[in-house]
Amino acid sequence: MAKSKKADPKAEAGKDKKKNTSLRLDGKTLKALKLRAIEEDSSVQQIVETLIDSYLNSPRKKDT
Question: Would you say 34 and 44 are in contact if contact means Cβ atoms under 8 Å apart?
Answer: yes
Question: Would you say 25 and 33 are in contact if contact means Cβ atoms under 8 Å apart?
Answer: yes
pLDDT at position 63, please? 77
> Does the pLDDT value for residue 8 go beyond 80?
no
The C-alpha R_g of the chain, in whole angstroms, comes to: 19
Using one digit for the tens of pLDDT, what is the confidence trace for 9-63?
655 665 679 999 999 999 999 999 999 999 999 999 999 999 999 999 999 988 7
Q: Where are the domains of the chain?
A: 26-57
> Does the pLDDT value for residue 1 go beyond 60?
no
pLDDT at position 62, please? 85
